[in-house]
Amino acid sequence: MSTPVCLTCTHWRSCSHNPHTGHCENPVFKYTGHGDPVPVAGLGYWDSEGYSAGFRTHEAFGCIHWTNKENQYPPARNNIQPSNEDEPTEAPLE
């Protein structure tokens, strides 16, 4: 079974400029206006000027909405180490 982190989740897409960070496309994470309702067990995000906002996660981030990619990628790296954006580091694959 895969480790429930972004790297192995169907909702996550890595960024082209840094493969260790990415965007979550889960519909329970919604751009909302300030004061609009937030989805149950979801995330509402906004910006102060009402244009648009987004959020990124590291590949090692995990959440309750994780869904396995089911063999779309190699087995999960259970030993992912936190990395600095400027100095990506990973534990060796086993």
Ranges of each domain in the chain: 1-87
Question: Minimal CA–CA distance to 42: which of 13, 63, 23?
Answer: 63
Q: Which residue has the higher pLDDT, 18 or 74?
A: 18
Write out pLDDT tens, residues 14-73: 998 998 999 999 988 888 877 788 888 888 888 877 677 778 899 999 999 999 987 554
pLDDT score of 1: 63
pTM over 0.75: no
What are the two backbone dihedrals, phi and then psi, of residue 14, each rounded to the nearest 5 degrees?
-75, 155
